[in-house]
Structure 1
Amino acid sequence: MMKRTPLYERHVKLGAKIVPFAGWQMPLSYSGVTDEHQSVRTAAGLFDISHMGRFELSGKGAEAYLERLTPGPVHKMQRGSAQYSMLLNKTGGILDDIYLYKRGVDKFFVIVNAANLDKDFKWMTSHLPPGVDLKDVSGETALLALQGPKSWEVLVQIIPFGKTEIALRNFIETELVPARGAKGIIARTGYTGEKGYELVIPAEAAETVWNALLEAGKAERIKPVGLGARDTLRLEMGYPLYGHDMDEKTTPIEADLERFIDFEKDFIGKEALVRQREKGSQRKLIGFELLTGGVPREGHTIYSDQKIIGKVASGNFSPSLRKGIGMGYVDPRYSEIGSEVLIDIRGNATPAIIVKRPFYKKKK
């Protein structure tokens, strides 16, 4: 049985194209992927991402537990800050990429990927020390993302008067005016590369808050946005997608996520990563742009000098750049920026150039 978010009926009424995704019936698009994509880049877009998992973690020793469980510098987090991180297995493979929110001393909120919810909960529970409590609150909450350069102008209309703009990778816990005082977590985080916010709210308030945001954003030409544009937006930024650009057989070093690792501390998977750093990895995630027409897709072969050097992990047509872009894993010897490679797109050897990510850079 496919799951539905608290906003499923709303999406149907808005004319969304519904598709299966990670066991959920989710909106792919409403007005069209390109139209929704441009709305987020130029104004504001509203996403229902309630399919993602949400855990509450609390109890004496919760911070020390996360410090050991994740490779990032949890000790650097202040109350009200958010941190991108990962769960790693003993061989350094990525079980999931996650977001941590520090709500207080030994009190955290964790967001995980939809397809990994059960696996993550089991993994985290299996390492729980006595006195630390992990609770799955996915069913009693909803998760919305309000993204785009005009997102603050929209958000400010549904939170109590006098709130100052939230700093990047920080969050507030506040009442939501339309939901008659229901409290939510509002974080300055996102997956689009634009200014934006993610809102954790009670499930029963989801439709009220969703409708209020769409109403508040009318002057800013806000649009509801589906998973199609969420994918093109994240790809333009070079953000990896779990299950495509990384999995349990991929390490953060191979996935170009080493900057999120604190090698000064102990964590699960550290020994394997230290060895890989010393020896060098067998493959590396690169970004590429097509030099001619075509759309690269996951699984397409990457060649150099008639030799197979890797495979495409994520690919699509970029609405902002008007060309095919992608990411893939290649032999590190062929990963230099500026190098030309060939992508096999349906039997056509399509020329591409390796570029620095993000692909899309906002004009100053």
Structure 2
Amino acid sequence: MASRSPLYSLHASSGASFALADGWEVPSTWTSPLQEAHTARHACALWDRSPWGRFQATGKDALDLLNRLSTNRLDDLPPSRGRQTVLTTNKGRCLDWLWVFRLSSGLLLLTSPGAEEAVASWIDTYTILEDASLTSLTTTTALIGVVGPGAEGTLGEVVGLPQGMGRGDAWEGHWEGTPLIALRTDALALPQWDLLAPAPHAPRLWSALRQRGALPLGESAVEVLRVAAGIPRRGKEITDAYNPLEAGLWESVSFNKGCYIGQEVLARLKTYGKIQKALARLAFPRPVPASTPLWAEGKRVGVVTSSAVDEDGPIALGYLDRPFLEADREVEAVLPAGAPVPGRVVWAPSLPPAYQAPPGAGEDEDSP
């Protein structure tokens, strides 16, 4: 049976349509994906992120353990701050892309939807004598994303959020006598604060934000925003078929920290320029489904991993072989039947030794 958010009944009563994703019954749309995406880009939208896994990690060795298991440097993480990091296999392939926040009660881990069990099992495998333990918060809390240029003002009015929080900042406070945590994540390359609240109080918090003018954001609109921003997602761009560098997660990888699982592989790829493919943004005249092969110059050169329809037309993410990672490069999506669909590369990374961050990429994790 699919899991449901603590906000499910509220969503259903407000006219949401639902879909199954990652073992959860999630709100897909309220109005239309483009209308909801427009709200997120220009006003204030509410995204129910409750399917995203949540752990509290405690014990004196917890931070050091996570530092040794993942790609980014965490051992110097300041209080009330977070960083993104990747759990990788011994071959340097992606397991999941996490946020790790250092709070007064311990560490808070945010996993991808459907990844909670895999992350917990992976960490447990490498926990031997360390004083570290994980407690799941996924069923006892809700996670509400408040997204858009109007989010900060709305949160200041409703929950008393302090102004000026930067990406990666965390705030611990209360709302109507209930503990509340706000995390600045900008998960869709827009201003975004994720509110972690006890599950019983989440519907009241959602309603209070709606009363201040925030509008709901369904998963279909989230996909539009995510694909447009070039943000990879577990199960699509983040799988054990790819490593973090191919997925464009350079800001989540430290190349000057100590050893971690998969570190030697990633270091060699960067040092010797051996990255053979990478994630790119694409545009087509009509929608092209995920898993569609991409061809150019008479050969297969990549694959579509995600697609959506934005205001200017169909867009997609896909992995392309290195020689074809050029803006405006023409490719063809070869469908099982019918004529190939012509497309072009909208943005592609310039791989080492001169790596180029994409427009709108997150700032340095420790910048104010």
Distance (Å, rounded) in 2 between the aligned partners of 1:361 and 1:143? 24
Q: Pick from 201, 207, 212: which aligns with 2:208?
A: 212
Q: Following TM superposition, by how much is the alpha carbon of 1:279 offset from its aligned partner in structure 2, in angstroms?
A: 6.2
User: Hey, what does 1:301 align to over in structure 2?
Assistant: 293
Deviation readout 1:47-101 (Å, 9 max, x if unpaired): 1110111000111122211110111021342211121111111111111111111
Matching of residue 276 in structure 1 with residue 275 in structure 2: no
**Deviating more after overlay: 331-340 vs 47-56:** 331-340
TM alignment of 1:118-197, pairs within 5 A: 118-128=117-127, 129-160=129-160, 163-176=162-175, 180-197=176-193
Structure 1 position 112 matched with structure 2 position 131: no
Q: CA deviation at 1:241?
A: 1.1
Q: Give runs of aligned pairs for residues 1-364 of structure 1, distance below 5 A.
A: 1-104=1-104, 107-128=106-127, 129-160=129-160, 163-176=162-175, 180-216=176-212, 218=213, 222-264=214-256, 265-277=258-270, 278=272, 280-290=274-284, 293-319=285-311, 322-345=312-335, 347-356=338-347
Aligned to 2:365: none
* Residue type at the aligned position of 1:109: L
Instruction: Tell whether the 8 Å contact from 1:88 to 1:94 is kept in structure 2 after alignment.
Output: yes
User: Is the contact made by 2:230 and 2:280 (CA closer than 8 Å) also made in structure 1?
Assistant: no
CA distance in 1, matches of 2:75, 2:291: 39
269-278 or 33-42, which moves further after superposition?
Answer: 269-278
- Cα 1:63–1:142, aligned 2, differ >3 Å: closer, same or farther? same
CA deviations 1:210-246 (Å, max 9, x no partner) are: 1111112x2xxx2111111111111111100111112
Structure 1 vs Structure 2 CA RMSD: 2.0
Instruction: Work out the CA distance in 2 between the residues paired with 1:100 and 1:183.
Output: 19
How much does 1:359 deviate? 8.8
Distance 1:168 1:130 in 2: 30
Check the 8 A contact 1:93/1:269 in 2, yes or no: yes
Work out the CA distance in 1 between the residues paired with 2:103 and 2:137.
Answer: 15
> AA paired with 2:39?
S
Stretches of structure 2 that go unaligned for 5 or more consecutive residues are 349-356, 362-368
1: CA distance between counterparts of 2:249 and 2:217? 27
Give structure 1 stretches of 5+ with no counterpart.
none
What amino acid maps onto 2:341 in structure 1? T
Counterpart CA distance in 2 for 1:262 and 1:318 is 34
TM-score, length-normalised on structure 2? 0.90
The one-letter amino acid paired with 1:356 is: W
Contact 2:65 2:130 in 1 (8 A): no
Contact 1:147/1:196 (<8 A) preserved = yes
- Contact 1:191/1:230 (8 A) holds in 2: no
Kept after mapping to 2: 8 A contact 1:71/1:87:
yes
Superposition deviation, residue 341 in structure 1: 1.5
Moved more, 305-314 or 254-263: 254-263
Contact 1:294-1:350 at 8 Å conserved across structures: yes
Distance (Å, rounded) in 2 between the aligned partners of 1:160 and 1:42 = 22
- Matched AA of 2:315: I
> Distance between the aligned counterparts of 1:31 and 1:52, measured in 2?
23
Deviations 1:154-195 (A, max 9, x none): 11122248x33322221100101xxx2111110111322211
CA distance in structure 2 between the partners assigned to 1:4 and 1:251 by the alignment: 31
SS at match of 2:159: coil
Shift in Å at residue 361 of structure 1?
A: 6.7
Q: In the aligned structure 1, how far is the partner of 2:279 from the partner of 2:17?
A: 32
Report the TM-score when normalising by structure 1: 0.90
Residue deviations 1:247-279, cap 9 Å, x none?
012111221223321122211111222333336
Q: Which of structure 1's runs of 4+ aligned residues deviate more than 6 A?
A: 357-362
SS at match of 1:74: coil
Counterpart of 1:85 in 2: which secondary structure?
strand
Moved more, 52-61 or 130-139: 130-139
